[in-house]
Structure 1
Amino acid sequence: MTSGGAEPEVREVEDVRAEVKTISSDLLDLTGLRGKVSEPGPGVVTCTDRERGEYFFVRHTWSVKEVPESELERAMAELRDGLSDRGWEVAKYGPNNSPAGTIELLAGLEPEQYTAEISFLDGRNLDPEADLSTESMLYVMVRSACYRVPEGQTVTQY
């Protein structure tokens, strides 16, 4: 999903935005979590090393808070197991190298070329002296591949 190399597929911005929103909704449903979900919706971003207005990807970052840590842990396991059943390839699952040992899940969906990066930020493991929120949450970023708008169109919203 790098912006270099082959010419990106031509897609309508709103079609990709709708797909990313659907993927995010499916991920939330898969977790079974019923906490406070952040806003807003998916945003459009210029692809690295590509012409602004002609090339884009869609990214949706969101989080779920106000859920017990045990439920967040369960949700991560549900995602790990459930994504494979839905055609996703889980590339990584486990603690990262941070002092908090944040649990990360990285997965890709082909041929649609979407990625999901999901982290369980456990407030119990964060340094209380650090200037960071200590609220536990599930943090999710869904990202599309880089696409090119149809000829004669430009990306007007970033």
Structure 2
Amino acid sequence: MKTALGAKALLVSIALTTLTGCSMTDAKDSGSLPTAGTSTSKEAAQTVKKVSSEIYDLIGIKGKASNSGAGVTECGDKDPEKYFQVFHPWSFTPASPEQLGDVMVKLKEELPKHGWKVVEFGPDTSKNKNVRLTADNDKKKHSVKIWHYAKRNPPKLSLMVVSGCYQVPEGEKVQRF
């Protein structure tokens, strides 16, 4: 059990590092995380789930999304008592595996029509050459990384949506979940 939790924590850490190093434009320098504004942890979690829901709608095929919750993590080297990021890992399994065939190309075309900038698209370095897509939404201050695991049984999409860096309102504390 600890190994599975450790592997998940490592995956989240890698995904957050990969995603938040991208080009959401109001970062002061290339090493800092973009500012997402002021929010409580709960409100930010609702926002990241709303962004995930919008991406789900863009997938546009019948299937089932996992029912995973959002999480809260530290925001780079900023004060962890005042600053945080939220992330929402989830997966999508189509009703029929053939339906996933062109979904990544469709997402590459549709995401920019909804304010997203695709910053990475193509096969990964695994032996299965899973297709991955990374996109940033500067207006929403969120990024998404999507992996298409075509050779899994069943084939599925894995998604990680992550926010920019939030600051809690004056007098509030970061709630971790």
**Which of the five TM-score ranges fits, normalised by the shorter chain?**
0.7 to 0.9
The letter of the residue matching 1:12 is T
The aligned residue for residue 143 of structure 1 is 162
The verdict on how the C-alpha distance between 1:75 and 1:6 changes in structure 2, with shifts beyond 3 A counting, is closer
What is the TM-score of this pair, normalised by structure 2?
Answer: 0.74
d(CA) in 1 for partners of 2:43 and 2:115? 20
Provide the identity percentage: 32
- Of the candidates 72, 97, 104, which is equivalent to residue 44 of structure 1? 72
Q: Which moved more, 1:82-91 or 1:15-24?
A: 15-24
- Higher helix proportion, which one? 2
What are structure 1's unaligned runs of at least 5 residues?
Answer: 125-133
Q: Give 4+ residue runs of structure 1 displaced > 3 Å after superposition.
A: 1-9, 66-69
Contact 1:20 1:142 in 2 (8 A): yes
> Which residue of 33, 45, 59 corresponds with 2:61?
33
Q: How does 1:78-157 map to 2 (within 5 A)?
A: 78-123=106-151, 134-157=153-176
Cα distance in structure 2, aligned partners of 1:50 and 1:136? 39
User: CA distance change for structure 1 residues 7 and 26 in 2, over 3 Å: closer, same or farther?
Assistant: closer
How far apart in 2 are the matches of 1:107 and 1:6? 15
SS in 2 for 1:92: strand
Provide the aligned length of Structure 1 versus Structure 2.
149
Task: Label 1:63 to 1:5 Cα distance change in 2 as closer, same or farther (>3 A).
Answer: closer
C-alpha change, 1:110 and 1:34, in structure 2 (3 Å) is same
Say which one has the larger Rg: 1
TM-score by length of 1: 0.82
Distance of aligned partners of 1:95 and 1:67 in 2 relative to their CA distance in 1, 3 Å threshold:
farther
Aligned mates of 1:53, 1:22 — CA distance in 2? 25
- Structure 1 residue 32: deviation in Å? 1.5
Structure 2 alignment gaps of length 5 or more: 1-19, 22-26
Task: Please name the residue that 2:46 is paired with.
Answer: 18
2:87 aligned with 1:68: no
**Contact 2:34/2:141 (8 A) holds in 1:** no
3-state SS of paired residue (2:102):
helix
Q: Is the 8 A contact 2:33 2:165 kept in 1?
A: no
Q: 1:7 to 1:30 in 2, by over 3 A?
A: closer
CA distance in 1 between partners of 2:86 and 2:102 (Å): 28
Tell me the CA shift for residue 47 of structure 1.
Answer: 1.7
Which amino acid letter does the alignment assign opposite residue 99 of structure 1? Answer: K
The superposition leaves residues 67-115 of structure 1 with CA deviations (integer Å, 9 ceiling, x where unpaired) of 4343112222221111010111011111112111010010000133210
